[in-house]
């Protein structure tokens, strides 16, 4: 039983005495209570360790120790999982309802596992850690995966494999929502790879799972062994009228003018992301305050849960670089760092920093360095051998010296150069560089490119660069540049979205963002979009969406592509500006112009010579994003905000700081909008000649089937005949025709109009073509796509035995509409338009005019039939207005008539 004991699902190797004691005393699962245990790595594991880790003399951190005195017996119903907590649940009030959190029932071998429920929507989230630490890096090794199971809504995947596969875009966005608030709470120096998995197990179509997933992730992380600092939670805030709603339902969100998702701790805000319809800054701050209060309440409840069910945190596994290394890096590179950080252009500055970093690494990890600081040398260097002394040398000091006293002259020890691991030097160099950059901004009030904190980079904008594109714009702000291209199309170009609800969703507007490695002067992978590209594209898309016209006014599907051709910070906001100009260049009647700006922050300014007030930076550079404390993107116009996204790299910010950032961002947007208005050449604001033409027409809903035809044959024939690209019909009678030229559009428009027209008894149609011939009459196309039956009794003033005796397919004649039956079938008459119709009608043998007798032929003698036929031919030859009768092949028209026969 104890051949491979485990603690939280991980194999352990106990000391022999402990193992023997356990084997003698117990024969069933055990619960282990303690904090650390001795881990003896095998020789194979030692061989796999890299050279940099072998340099470090710190022994492997211990996760849990086993003390025989602390081993307790679990009850038989513990399912044999050592250390697993008992099931425990708690109900937490959120808004006008409760969410239920449960742990200890599912996923007991994970480091942290939680099931959270809102209504009938259930999220299951786990956190697991690797058994051994990864190589030290400048980021926390966390991976987040979120998946929506179709079975949660009683569905299955529509794909061939019938199972969930590649992560969808909206799942990637939720992964980012989970990841971003977690990272600021993670300690530096913890290198155990951590994986967070989240699944939607049940979805009721009422309570959305994204905000719930953020809270579930925060609780699972708090319950796990990861030494994160604080509990986090997330909520969504909607705005209906003047009322803020916490975690609104799907139906409530349809009427909301705000979609804000906020995550934070009980003390501060860590992340916000949302979209709104030109919401003023003060209203947004009110929403953030409502959300922060809700998060505070959730966090307090979770803290109580963690006290009962949480696992011991692995604080002893945190490994930081030696403190003395910071002083050495500053001593070696400090003066050069000051000069390098003042280089204005990104590429030269990056290369200079890289060269300086390599030099520091070479000195501290290969050559060795002796500090010039006396205090540091005396206390921190390794012990050396003393200089050799002459045994007979005595030192005589002032005063009397007793016989036998020997005084040795003190000699300073030799300083041995210190060597550090390359990874530690890189980590420290990055932190020192960040410190110098922040000090330069706070102390001197100047940034790397020479701007003041509130100053915006130079802006250049131009439109119409690509002649065959429907719309294009190049937006440049400093060293950040976006090439935006707009393509217009019909519904076939719309983006189909797979979701949990059993209905198809199509997006008529979408923005796709790409960030090739060439935009930063590097080489790298080119392929499927990264999570960052998906997130930045969605932010820009949602920022532009409020300015689009309604579909009734502009029936096009709109695609915007933003390719970042240069990047030095704030490329997503450049996509907003470039996308807005490209839409105008494509002739899209947008409501107004909007712009986007990214704000940064240096929080603790006292450390760098400031007065302690947070310093807000407008239009941040890439280095200021990496080394600063905040990345706050805000898009909108001078009236309100359409989209926002904030990430924090510190423990959180307050509402006052956020208010200052929003007001400064508003001033920045006004400046950018003014520069965009100077675009040269300006946007054309007209549809490109290469853009498709879309005509929208309205017909009676019951007439839609006439356009489609049996199996779609009719609509396909119209497309082939006219050359249009597509014809889209809707159940409400709306018909959209997409064409490349006006001629084909007008032709298809006429056909559909004729098909769906409402004919009136008494209408006369000239020069109509016979489409098919049957023994009981002919089918005449009165307008393109609309046919009626001219019965044999209405073809001529004289009696006819068979219609094919006098008419053939392709003949043309004038007809009059004389009847519309209950099924909408048309009955036509040629005889009613003949000049002698009234006189001949009296001499013509009476015949039934009912369509019910179309297939019935009255019995007649052969002689009478022959005489009638002869008379008919004679009459036809005498009347020049009537069609000439030509013998035709009976079999072919008969087959065609059988296909087109109508019910009586």
Same domain membership, residue 672 and residue 699 = no
DSSP conformation letters of 773-833? EETTEEEEEEETTEEEEEEGGGT-SS--S-GGGT--TT-EEEEEEEEE-TT--EEEESGGG
Domain span including residue 743: 692-756
Q: In angstroms, rounded to a whole number, what is the distance separating the alpha carbons of residues 366 and 668?
A: 48
| 847 CB neighbour count, 10 Å cutoff | 14
Distances (CA, A) of 24 to 2, 21, 251: 11, 5, 63
Is 3 part of a structural domain of the chain? no
Same domain membership, residue 550 and residue 443 = no
Q: Which one, of 623, 642, 620, lies nearest residue 631 by Cα?
A: 620
Residues pairing with 777 in the sheet:
774, 791
Q: In angstroms, rounded to a whole number, what is the distance separating the alpha carbons of residues 157 and 666?
A: 45
Is 799 part of a structural domain of the chain? yes
Is 488 part of a structural domain of the chain? yes
703: CATH: 3.30.1370.10
297: CATH: 3.30.230.70
Same domain membership, residue 575 and residue 696 = no
* pLDDT number for residue 78: 41
Q: Which one, of 216, 264, 235, lies nearest residue 110 by Cα?
A: 216
Look up residue 278 and give its two tokens: 């030109």
Three-state SS at 902? coil
Residues pairing with 773 in the sheet:
778
Q: Long-range contacts made by residues 829-835, C-beta under 8 angstroms, separation at least 24?
A: 829/790, 829/791, 829/794, 830/790, 830/794, 830/795, 830/796, 831/793, 831/794, 831/795, 831/796, 831/797, 832/794, 833/764, 834/796, 834/797, 834/881, 834/882, 835/881
Q: In angstroms, rounded to a whole number, what is the distance separating the alpha carbons of residues 902 and 128?
A: 71
- Using left for φ > 0, alpha for ψ between -120 and 50, and beta otherwise, residue 838 falls in alpha
Choose one of 833, 857, 882: the last residue of a domain: 833
Is 385 part of a structural domain of the chain? no
The torsion angle over the Cα atoms of residues 488, 489, 493 and 497, rounded to 10 degrees, is 60
Same domain membership, residue 772 and residue 746 = no
Look up residue 585 and give its two tokens: 């260049």
Look up residue 196 and give its two tokens: 């967070």
Look up residue 637 and give its two tokens: 């116009």
| 831 CB neighbour count, 10 Å cutoff | 21
Q: In angstroms, rounded to a whole number, what is the distance separating the alpha carbons of residues 433 and 500?
A: 47
Q: In angstroms, rounded to a whole number, what is the distance separating the alpha carbons of residues 864 and 874?
A: 15
Residues pairing with 729 in the sheet:
735
Same domain membership, residue 311 and residue 435 = no
Count helices and strands (H / E) in the chain: 21, 33
Look up residue 705 and give its two tokens: 């089937």
Q: Could you list the mean pLDDT of each consecutive 10-residue stretch along the chain, which spans 904 residues?
A: 38 38 37 34 38 38 35 39 72 92 94 96 96 86 93 80 83 95 90 95 93 96 92 95 94 94 93 94 95 94 92 92 90 90 90 92 82 48 42 44 48 62 90 91 88 94 95 96 95 83 80 95 89 95 95 92 94 96 96 96 87 91 90 94 92 88 95 95 92 91 88 90 91 91 90 84 90 91 85 87 87 92 88 69 40 35 36 34 31 37 34
Q: In angstroms, rounded to a whole number, what is the distance separating the alpha carbons of residues 336 and 354?
A: 12
Same domain membership, residue 770 and residue 703 = no
Same domain membership, residue 654 and residue 535 = yes
Choose one of 756, 782, 804: the last residue of a domain: 756
Same domain membership, residue 735 and residue 636 = no
767: CATH: 2.40.50.140
Show Cβ contacts of residue 190 under 8 Å, excluding neighbours closer than 6 positions: 140, 226, 227, 314, 317, 318, 319
Instruction: Assign 3-class secondary structure to 706-744.
Output: HHHCHHHHHHHHHHHHHCCCEEEECCCCEEEEEECCHHH
Is 898 part of a structural domain of the chain? no
Look up residue 892 and give its two tokens: 């072919």
Choose one of 646, 677, 708: the last residue of a domain: 677
Same domain membership, residue 476 and residue 360 = no
* pLDDT number for residue 414: 52
Is 400 part of a structural domain of the chain? no
Q: In angstroms, rounded to a whole number, what is the distance separating the alpha carbons of residues 772 and 761?
A: 23
Whether 302 contacts 219, CB under 8 Å:
yes
Whether 24 contacts 68, CB under 8 Å:
no
Is 69 part of a structural domain of the chain? no
Q: In angstroms, rounded to a whole number, what is the distance separating the alpha carbons of residues 698 and 753?
A: 10
- Cis omega (within 30 of 0) on the bond before 681? yes
Same domain membership, residue 716 and residue 791 = no
Q: In angstroms, rounded to a whole number, what is the distance separating the alpha carbons of residues 101 and 114?
A: 7
Same domain membership, residue 644 and residue 495 = yes
* pLDDT number for residue 788: 92
pTM metric for this prediction: 0.75
Same domain membership, residue 783 and residue 742 = no
Q: In angstroms, rounded to a whole number, what is the distance separating the alpha carbons of residues 158 and 201?
A: 18
* pLDDT number for residue 156: 80
Is 874 part of a structural domain of the chain? no
For the chain, what is the domain count? 5
Q: Which one, of 81, 98, 80, 97, lies nearest residue 89 by Cα?
A: 98
Look up residue 481 and give its two tokens: 């540049």
Whether 142 contacts 190, CB under 8 Å:
no
């Amino acid at each position: 039983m104890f051949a491979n004991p485990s603690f939280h699902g991980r194999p352990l190797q106990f000391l022999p005495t402990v193992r023997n004691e356990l084997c003698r005393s117990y024969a069933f699962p055990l619960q282990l209570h303690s904090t650390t245990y001795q881990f003896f790595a095998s020789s194979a594991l030692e061989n796999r360790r890299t050279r940099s880790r072998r340099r470090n003399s710190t022994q492997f951190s211990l996760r849990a120790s086993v003390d025989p005195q602390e081993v307790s017996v679990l009850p038989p119903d513990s399912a044999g999982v050592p250390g697993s907590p008992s099931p425990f649940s708690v109900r937490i009030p959120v808004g006008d309802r409760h969410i239920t959190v449960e742990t200890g029932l599912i996923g007991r071998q994970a480091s942290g596992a939680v099931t959270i429920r809102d209504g009938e929507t259930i999220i299951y989230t786990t956190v697991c850690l690797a058994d051994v630490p990864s190589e030290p890096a400048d980021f926390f090794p966390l991976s987040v995966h979120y998946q929506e199971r179709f079975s949660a809504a009683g569905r299955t995947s529509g794909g061939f494999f019938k199972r969930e596969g590649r992560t969808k875009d909206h799942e990637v966005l939720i992964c980012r929502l989970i990841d971003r608030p977690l990272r600021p709470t993670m300690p530096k120096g913890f290198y155990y790879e951590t994986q967070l998995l989240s699944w939607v197990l049940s979805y009721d179509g009422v309570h959305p799972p994204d905000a719930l997933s953020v809270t579930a992730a925060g609780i699972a992380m708090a319950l796990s062994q990861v030494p994160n600092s604080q509990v986090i939670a997330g909520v969504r805030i909607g705005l209906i009228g003047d009322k803020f709603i916490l975690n609104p339902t799907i139906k409530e969100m349809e009427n909301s003018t705000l979609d804000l998702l906020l995550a934070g701790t009980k003390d501060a805000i860590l992340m916000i992301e949302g979209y709104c319809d030109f919401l003023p800054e003060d209203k947004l701050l009110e929403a953030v305050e409502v959300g922060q209060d809700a998060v505070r309440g959730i966090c307090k409840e979770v803290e109580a849960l963690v006290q009962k069910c949480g696992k011991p945190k692995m604080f002893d596994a945190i490994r930081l670089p030696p403190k003395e290394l910071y002083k050495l890096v500053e001593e070696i590179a400090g003066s050069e760092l000051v000069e390098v950080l003042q280089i204005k252009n990104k590429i030269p500055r990056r290369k200079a920093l890289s060269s300086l970093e390599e030099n520091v690494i070479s000195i501290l990890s290969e050559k060795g360095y002796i500090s010039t600081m006396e205090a540091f040398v005396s206390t921190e260097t390794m012990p050396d051998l003393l200089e050799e002394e002459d045994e007979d040398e005595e030192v005589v000091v002032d005063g009397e010296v007793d016989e036998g006293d020997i005084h040795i002259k003190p000699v300073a020890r030799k300083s041995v150069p210190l060597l550090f691991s390359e990874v530690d030097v890189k980590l420290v160099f990055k932190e020192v560089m960040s410190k110098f950059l922040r000090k330069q901004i706070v102390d001197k009030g100047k940034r790397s490119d020479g701007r003041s904190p509130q100053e915006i980079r130079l802006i250049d904008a131009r439109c119409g660069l690509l002649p065959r594109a429907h719309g294009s714009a190049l937006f440049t702000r400093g060293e950040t540049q976006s090439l935006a291209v707009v393509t217009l199309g019909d519904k076939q170009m719309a983006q189909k979205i797979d979701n949990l609800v059993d209905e198809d969703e199509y997006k008529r507007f979408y923005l796709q963002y790409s960030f090739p490695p060439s935009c930063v002067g590097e080489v790298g992978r080119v392929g499927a979009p990264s999570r960052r590209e998906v997130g930045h594209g969605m932010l820009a898309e949602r920022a532009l969406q409020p300015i689009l016209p309604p579909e009734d006014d502009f029936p096009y599907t709109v695609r915007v592509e933003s390719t970042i051709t240069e990047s030095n910070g704030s490329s997503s906001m450049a996509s907003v500006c470039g996308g807005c100009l490209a839409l105008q260049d494509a002739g899209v009647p947008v409501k107004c112009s909007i712009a986007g700006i990214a704000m940064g922050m240096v929080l603790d300014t006292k450390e760098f010579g400031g007065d302690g007030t947070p310093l807000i930076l407008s239009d941040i550079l890439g280095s200021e994003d990496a080394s600063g404390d905040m990345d706050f993107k805000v898009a909108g116009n001078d009236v309100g905000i359409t989209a926002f996204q904030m990430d924090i790299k510190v423990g959180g910010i307050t509402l006052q700081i956020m208010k200052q950032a929003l007001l400064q961002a508003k001033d920045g947007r006004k400046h950018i909008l003014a520069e965009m208005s100077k675009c040269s050449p300006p946007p054309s604001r007209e549809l490109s000649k290469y853009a498709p033409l879309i005509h929208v027409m309205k017909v009676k809903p019951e007439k839609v089937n006439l356009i489609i035809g049996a199996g779609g044959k009719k609509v396909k024939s119209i497309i082939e005949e006219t050359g249009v690209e597509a014809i889209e019909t809707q159940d409400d009678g709306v018909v959209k025709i997409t064409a490349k030229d006006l001629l084909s559009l007008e032709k298809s428009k006429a056909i559909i109009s004729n098909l769906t027209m409402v004919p009136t008894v008494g209408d006369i149609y000239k020069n109509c073509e016979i489409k098919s011939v049957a023994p009981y009459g002919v089918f005449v196309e009165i307008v393109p796509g609309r046919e009626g039956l001219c019965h044999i009794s209405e073809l001529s003033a004289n009696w006819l035995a068979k219609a094919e005796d006098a008419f053939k397919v392709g003949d043309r004649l004038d007809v009059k509409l004389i009847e519309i039956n209950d099924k909408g079938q048309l009955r036509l008459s040629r005889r009613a338009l003949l000049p002698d119709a009234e006189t001949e009608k009296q001499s013509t043998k009476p015949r039934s005019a009912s369509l019910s007798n179309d297939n019935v032929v009255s019995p007649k003698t052969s002689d009478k039939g022959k005489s009638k036929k002869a008379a008919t031919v004679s009459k036809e030859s005498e009347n020049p207005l009537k069609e000439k009768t030509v013998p035709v092949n009976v079999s072919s028209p008969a087959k065609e008539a059988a296909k087109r026969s109508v019910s009586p």
